[in-house]
A and B are shown apart, each in its own frame.
Chain A
Amino acid sequence: MPALLTVRNLTIRFGGITALNDVSFDVAEGHITGLIGPNGAGKTTCFNCITRLYEPTSGEVLLRGEDLLRLRPQQISGKRIARTFQNLALFEGMTVLDNVLVGYHARFPGGFGDWGAEQGALAEAMDVLTKLDVADIAKRAVHGLPFGIRKRVELARAIMAKPELLLLDEPAAGIGHDEVTALAATIRRIARDFSTTILMVEHHMQLVMSVSDHIVVLASGKKLADGPPAAVQENRAVIEAYLGAV
Chain B
Amino acid sequence: MTLVSPSSARAIRVGIAIVVIAILPAIVPTFVVFDFIYVAAYAIAILGLIILTGMNGQISLGHGAFMALGGYVAAVLAHNFGWPYWIGVPLAAVASGAFGLVIGAIALRLAGVYLALATFSLAVATPSFLKHYKSITGGFGGLSLDAVKAPAGVPLDGQQWLYYVTWAIAGAAFLASALLVRGKFGRALRALRDNPIAAISFGVNPYYYKTLAFGWSAVLAGIAGAFLAMTTAYVSPDTFTFALSITLLIGAVLGGMLTFWGALVGAIVIEFLPLVAQQVNAGAPSVVYGVTLILMMLFVPDGIVGGVQRLTRRLVRRAPSTPEFEPPVPTAASMAVDHSTRE
Contacts and interface: CB of A to CB of B under 8 A. Distances in A.
Given A44-B343, A86-B343, A89-B195, A51 B322 contact: no
A74 B200 contact: yes
Contacts of B324: 139-140
A86 B197 CA distance: 13
B201 A73 contact: yes
A242 interface: no
Given A87-B341, A105-B202, A108-B184, A92 B194 contact: yes
B327 A105 contact: no
Nearest to B258: A93
B253 to A, nearest CB: 16
B197 A115 contact: no
A83 B201 CA distance: 8
Contacts of A101: 187
Contacts of B200: 53, 73-74
B188 interface: yes
A99 to B, nearest CB: 8
A106 B203 contact: yes
Interface in A71-96: 73-78, 82-83, 85-87, 89-95
Given A73-B201, A89-B341, A91-B194, A140 B322 contact: yes
Contact of A161 (B185, B187, B190, B202): B202
Contacts of B323: 140-141
Given A85-B341, A105-B188, A91 B326 contact: no
A73 B201 CA distance: 6
B343 A91 contact: no
Contacts of B343: 44-45, 47-48, 53, 85-87
A93 B194 contact: yes
Interface in B158-214: 183-185, 187-188, 190-191, 193-195, 197-206
Contacts of B86: none
B198 A105 contact: no
B198 A75 contact: no
B187 A139 contact: no
Contacts of B194: 90-94
B31 interface: no
B191 to A, nearest CB: 5
Contact of B190 (A45, A74, A93, A103): A93
Contacts of A137: 322
Nearest to B55: A93
A90 B198 contact: yes
B195 A90 contact: yes
A145 B202 contact: no
A45 B343 CA distance: 8
Report whether over half of chain B's contact residues are helix, strand or loop; otherwise say mixed: loop
Interface residues of B, number: 32
Given A75-B203, A76-B201, A143-B327, A98 B187 contact: yes
Contact of B187 (A73, A86, A102, A140): A102
Interface in A116-171: 118, 137, 139-141, 143-145, 157, 161
Contacts of B206: 74
Given A74-B204, A76-B201, A118 B322 contact: no
A114 interface: yes
Given A102-B187, A140-B324, A93 B201 contact: no
B323 to A, nearest CB: 7
A92 B327 contact: yes
Contact of B322 (A53, A73, A98, A144): A144
A47 B201 CA distance: 11
Contacts of A85: 197-198, 341, 343
Contacts of A87: 341, 343
Given A85-B343, A101-B187, A141 B326 contact: yes
21 contacts: A48-B343, A53-B200, A73-B200, A74-B204, A75-B203, A77-B203, A85-B198, A91-B190, A92-B327, A93-B193, A93-B194, A102-B198, A105-B204, A106-B202, A114-B184, A114-B185, A141-B325, A141-B326, A143-B327, A143-B328, A161-B203
Given A73-B200, A161-B202, 9 more contacts: A47-B343, A74-B200, A92-B327, A93-B193, A98-B190, A102-B198, A105-B184, A137-B322, A157-B202
In the A-B complex, list the 4 residue pairs whose CB atoms are closest, starting with the nearest. A106-B203, A77-B203, A89-B198, A91-B194
